[in-house]
Amino acid sequence: MLKEGDKAPAVTGVSYDGRRFDLGAPAKRTVVFFYPKANTGGCTTEAVEFNGLLDEFAKLGAEVVGASVDKPAANEKWAVKNGLRMPLISDPGEHTVASAFGVARPRVGVAKRTTWLIDPDGTLRKVYPKVTPKGHAAEVLAAAQEIWG
């Protein structure tokens, strides 16, 4: 498992709408949260809470990006249904992004719920290896304000 101070893996994720994200050297401060499955209770709670705080993250110069092993169509449908404004990386098939971050669970077919704060140079500033969806976005925002504020 990647830990604080490590470099993020040099991997590119692609959102359901085709946007590319170089997670090893992101264009700006980045919060990446992996969620197990779109359109499920805990994942929706977590994503909606992050969505509600996007403007606060933006004030810190940070972008929030969700990621799962769901197919692009599933992420898009979920985003539209819930008004999610953040990019959602789809990582089906080989689970390249989830595997690089050490959160792929191939036999289960989902990614382990985990969050990282990544500096533009790729340094992992904060890692949340065990996430409880409710209240997690606010917890991450507080850490981001401490680190990047």
47-56 CB burial, b ≥16 within 10 A, e <16: bebbbebbee
Is 34 an annotated catalytic residue? no
Q: What is the CA radius of gyration of the chain?
A: 14
Quick check: helix, strand or coil at residue 121?
coil
Of 32, 43, 54, 89, which one is the catalytic site residue?
43
| Helix and strand element counts for the chain (H, E) | 5, 9
Query: What CA–CA distance (Å, rounded) separates 39 from 42?
Result: 9
Quick check: helix, strand or coil at residue 145?
helix
DSSP 55-87: HHHHHTTEEEEEEESS-HHHHHHHHHHHT--S-
Catalytically annotated residues: 43
